[in-house]
Amino acid sequence: MSMGLWRTAVAWALIAPFLMWTVLRLSGIDAGFRWIQLVSFTPYVAGAAFAVPVVALLLRRRGAAAAGLAVAVVLGALVLPRMLGEGQPPAKGPVLRVLSANVRFGLTPPDRVLALVRDLRIDVLSIQELPPEARRVLEEKGLLELLPHTANGTHDTTLYSRHPFQTAPAPAGAVRAAMDVPGADGPVEFVAVHTCAPLRPGLDRCWRAGQTELPEATPEGTPRILAGDFNATLDHASLRETLSTGYRDAAEVRGAGLRPTWPADGWSTPGIVIDHVFADRRISVLDYSVHGLPGSDHRAVYAELRLP
């Protein structure tokens, strides 16, 4: 093979995987166990894609460089909005401070959870992987004094609230409640979320079912908030579909949509964003932050919301 053909082959071989990734990401299909896992890393792929046209130019292949740049721009356009932030609706209702925390089967020290609830003045806590014994310890240490209203769901998901609520049927791994917030124009529905994790072959079916069962927004009805461990990123078509029904992702609204929530520091996998707070489009997102949870492989996510 001549040097020219070799350079051409190398340039296009570099472009091919990024092009395939882009086509699959744009297809809107969460297909196959491995792709469900891999698509979560699209932000990293988007960053790496910008090196391809540079290499193609070094190989003196302008056509390949142009194609590589086009692919990189498309990938970048899919990711960049998560860093830019969004405007706010004219919400004038009371403020609701929300925290979601996956405590990894109760391994996070209860004092850490209590400190976050106190310091952030939490009104609603969605907590996942909290087995009965860990829940008992957390409540004995004073959580119910701060958030006296509580309900348990499957998958060791528990909802704690400063305000009273009435529960309603919920998907597996979720707690669904109509909450009475003082000063709000009617009840607010809150859903503590914990869907299946696609950790091994076969669980992709459970994961897909969990994503499709997430409650849609009701733009003309009761405002709804989802908070928890979704085990999905904004690069999953199923989660984007839920978002498109009338929610906004609190992290994306505040320009923090690429701050990883899993795994926590010290784990080998590159960080991705699978813990979310989704709020009705009529709700303003005043603040968003991510907080460490010792003992857990997740970080907690906090959102300060102003209700309509």
How large is the average pLDDT for residues 55-72?
Answer: 94
% pLDDT > 70, the chain: 99
How large is the average pLDDT for residues 41-54?
Answer: 97
- Res. 1: pLDDT tops 70: no
Please identify which residue in the block is written with the tokens 């009705």: 280
**Separation between Cα atoms, residue 278 and residue 303, nearest integer Å:** 10
Q: What is the predicted pLDDT for the residue at 111? A: 98
CB atoms within 10 A of CB 171: 20
Mean confidence (pLDDT) of the chain: 95
Question: Is the four-CA dihedral 233, 242, 208, 21 of positive or negative sign?
Answer: negative
Select the more confidently predicted residue: 6 or 162: 162
How far, in whole angstroms, is CA 67 from its chain's centroid? 31
Question: How wide is the angle at C-alpha 254 spanned by C-alphas 253 and 256, nearest 5°?
Answer: 105
**How does DSSP classify residue 271?**
P
**Separation between Cα atoms, residue 186 and residue 173, nearest integer Å:** 26
- Res. 266: pLDDT tops 70: no
Tell me the sheet residues that pair with 288. 303
What amino acid is encoded at 263 in this protein?
Answer: P
Question: Is the four-CA dihedral 170, 207, 195, 251 of positive or negative sign?
Answer: negative
Q: What is the predicted pLDDT for the residue at 2? A: 75
**pLDDT (tens digit, 9 = 90+) per residue, 169-223?**
999 999 999 999 999 999 999 999 999 999 888 888 999 999 999 999 998 899 9
**Separation between Cα atoms, residue 235 and residue 131, nearest integer Å:** 30
Contact between 284 and 299 (Cβ < 8 Å): no
**pLDDT (tens digit, 9 = 90+) per residue, 81-139?**
999 999 999 999 999 999 999 999 999 999 999 999 999 999 999 999 999 999 999 99
Tokens matching residue 235: 């690069």
**Separation between Cα atoms, residue 101 and residue 116, nearest integer Å:** 10
End-to-end Cα separation, the chain, in angstroms: 67
Q: What is the pTM of this model?
A: 0.95
**How does DSSP classify residue 39?**
G
**How does DSSP classify residue 270?**
P
**pLDDT (tens digit, 9 = 90+) per residue, 175-187?**
999 999 999 999 9
- Res. 31: pLDDT tops 80: no
Closest CA to 124 of 172, 175, 87, 173: 175
Tell me the sheet residues that pair with 193. 228
How large is the average pLDDT for residues 245-274?
Answer: 93
How far is it between the farthest Cα atoms of the chain? 76
Q: What is the predicted pLDDT for the residue at 202? A: 85
